[in-house]
Structure 1
Amino acid sequence: MAAPAPSKRRGSGGGEKKDLFHVVHKVPAGDSPYVRAKHLQLVEKDAEASIVWFWKAINSGDRVDSALKDMAVVMKQQDRAEEAIEAIRSFRHLCSRQAQESLDNLLIDLYKKCGKVDEQIELLKQKLKMICLGEAFNGKITKTARSHGKKFQVSIQQEMSRILGNLGWAYMQQNNYEAAELVYRKAQTIVPDANRACNLGLCLIKLGRDEEAVQVLEDVLLRRISGLDGDKAVARAEQLLRELGPITHVSSPFDVGLSFTEEIMERLDLVMNEWTPFRSRRLPVFEELDAFRDQMAC
């Protein structure tokens, strides 16, 4: 008597296991260059080999958006940030419009890692200008972001405040505390944050304005301002207050960066006053801002 043929249920078991493998390891299915690169990156943990296959994926047009971003991330982890910057600059034109914002965010991180503060500031200014002109978030007031595998909603206000915070930190790296103070103060009026308040307090200390610094830091100490990691911010505020004493006044000239900051702050005020969920994609205020394109391009 012939053996019974395997049931469909048994036959599908291998497929289910295979699907489970891809889910567990977060590796896409298939055998394309991009899939091989992800397998090398996530399963075999061979970063160098994965970079080679990410290059092959880009050159063959296989999921170029993801391949370029993933390759840049791996390069950054391998202390090859300079190469990652050049790769993004050279091949981002092959990527979709939807990928450009995440590429910009990745470039900012890479500039920060390489100590390229001028480039970081320029790109952050560009991102702020896009918000002012209604070109961020595709004209919407929220977007879906992802962090550590989890999705969450980010409002235009949160994004604006985050970018301003990064810009303030970049100015601090140049000892341009006047510009940093303006930027941090504006960020705090949009979405208050304890860590940014500590940075603002440090700016005020560097500018020799100790009494103002104490007021800002005490707000953190008394938890009047929240943040993602409030305990660390409180500890930092305590340390700054303990160290507060005779501070050498640090000054830096008001340069083009500062004049831009003052101007962009006014534009952001207009945006915040005009923006509501019920307005069209391109708000009237953005039409008014077109006249300022050249001035804000500095």
Structure 2
Amino acid sequence: MEAAAGSASVSKKSPKGKKEDLYHVLHKLPYGDSLYGRAKHAQLVEKDPEAAVVLFWKAINGGDKVESALKDMAIVMKQLDRSEEAIEAIKSFRSLCSKQSQESLDNVLIDLYKKCGKLDEQIELLKRKLKLIYQGEAFNGKPTKTARSHGKKFQVSIKQETSRLLGNLGWAYMQKMNYMMAEVVYRKAQIIDPDANKACNLGLCLTKQGRYDEAQLVLEEVLQHKFAGSDDSRTRQRAQDLLSEVRSMLPQQHFSDLLGLDDDFIKGLDRLMNEWGPVRSKRLPIFEEISPFRDQLAC
């Protein structure tokens, strides 16, 4: 009995051990005093990104959790406006990482390309990732994958990932002012997995092409809660701002539209009024404005 009690007491963690566990969980730190662990401590606890980068480099060179160290270092470098270095680091050391980690490294690269304004590289990589999905090689052949955002895990489907990549591709084309390609990509993304944010981007894309009627319809659908994410206040405000801009660019209703006149007559009158120029005085009736042309019309 004494021996059993003794072994039970040994198996229990001391209060100090519990505090250490809580400390690591609270700060999301790996256990132990490894190079990678020290790098994460510098990044998350000491808030010293420069020191963290140095330690991440040492971890990579020392073979300590190379995949995680490379990805984390690139993220910290991006925060330090050293995105070009981060891109080169990933390109140089990704061969040391497993096949399973390549997808997450590509996602980091896409963000880095976006930060640096490397649109051609971003577009090429996005197309390559979409091709892998088409070939059935994304997510290591599985229908979903586990992703992490702000410390929380969630499942992402192939459908959602395809739409996300298409959204990024559409935005890259927008930055290159290739609005026709951007429209094609956004429409495909909306067919696969529609959401309010991409609808706003499609509306902006149509506006840039001068297709204000179509843009108005898309943006009105956002405000009518027809897409996922339509309840987000920032998205709704963006849609409202874009819609106001679009409506200001639409042709104003002519006075003749209100009279219910014949369409052919309206078109002819509009053409004449465009030639005559704007009304010079709001006090003058419109037919006084066209009086100089009565003789011409009579002929």
> TM range, normalised to the smaller chain?
0.7 to 0.9
Pairs within 5 Å for 1:179-198: 179-198=181-200
Show the counterpart of 2:257: none
CA contact (8 A) 1:188 1:196 kept: yes
Matched residues in 1 for 2:231 and 2:152: separation? 18
Report the 3-state secondary structure (helix = DSSP H, G, I; strand = E; otherwise coil) of the residue aligned with 2:165.
Answer: helix
Which structure's relative contact order is higher, taking Cα pairs within 8 Å and 6+ residues apart? 1
The normalised TM-score by structure 1 is 0.78
1: CA distance, partners of 2:186 / 2:178:
12
Say whether residues 1:129 and 2:131 are aligned partners: yes
Residue type matched to 1:146 in 2? R
What SS does the corresponding residue of 2:22 show, helix, strand or coil?
Answer: helix
Count of residues in correspondence between the two structures: 242
Residue of structure 1 in register with 2:288 after alignment:
none
1:172 aligns with 2:174: yes
8 A contact 2:223–2:230 mirrored in 1: no
Q: Does 1:241 align with 2:235?
A: no
- Work out whether residues 196 and 222 of structure 2, in 8 Å CA contact, stay in contact via their aligned partners in 1: yes
Q: Distance in 2 between matches of 1:237 and 1:9?
A: 60
User: Structure 2 length normalisation: TM-score?
Assistant: 0.78
Residue in 1 aligned with 2:263? none
CA 125–229 in structure 1, closer or farther in 2 if over 3 Å, else same: farther
Instruction: Report the Cα offset of residue 231 of structure 1.
Output: 2.1
Q: Which residue of 1 aligns with 2:266?
A: none
What is the SS of the residue equivalent to 2:228? coil
Larger Cα-atom Rg = 2
Letter in 2 for 1:48: E
Separation in structure 1 between the aligned mates of residue 228 and residue 89 of structure 2, nearest angstrom: 38
**Deviation of 1:246 (Å):** 3.7
Q: Percent identity?
A: 69
Residue pair 1:223, 1:234 contacting (<8 A) in 2 also = no
2:20 to 18, 21, 24: 18
Report deviation, 1:67: 0.3
Structure 1 segment 20-39 matched on structure 2, within 5 A: 20-39=22-41
Identify the residue that residue 212 of structure 2 maps to in structure 1: 210
User: How many angstroms apart in 2 are the aligned matches of 1:220 and 1:161?
Assistant: 17
Corresponding position of 1:223: 225
Match of 2:43 among 41, 44, 53: 41
Please tell me the residue identity of whatever aligns with 1:187.
A
How many Å apart are 1:232 and its aligned residue? 1.7
Q: Which runs of 5+ in 2 are unaligned?
A: 1-5, 251-299
Q: Aligned letter for 1:133?
A: Q
Q: Which runs of 5+ in 1 are unaligned?
A: 248-298
